[in-house]
Amino acid sequence: MIQEELVKAALQARNYAYAPYSKFSVGCALLTKSGKIFTGCNVENISLGLTICAERAAVAAAIAEGEKDFVAIAVVTDSDAPALPCGACRQVLAEFNPA
């Protein structure tokens, strides 16, 4: 099932997260209309505003490969509590999927 594949890919991406300040690792997997999966992880910076969220990293990876039609996303963290994309990530996702 594609949902399981997305979660597995997001979990793998989370392993590469760079989160020395928050200790909160995030992984994301993004499915495109063409069936490709792109992943991203959060990359923190001591200057908080320069931190890259996993969702935006995945979107950037897809765009860099010419993909911009997204149909599904999986976001995983190292917390038991559900996590939702931040406002900036929601805005970026909405830019490419306004529906």
- Residue 45, sorted as left (phi over 0), alpha (psi -120 to 50) or beta, turns out to be beta
Please tell me which residue in 4, 5, 44, 55 is annotated as part of the active site: 55
Is 67 part of the annotated catalytic residue set?
no
- Are 41 and 13 in contact by the 8 Å Cβ rule? The answer is yes
Active centre residues (catalytic) = 55
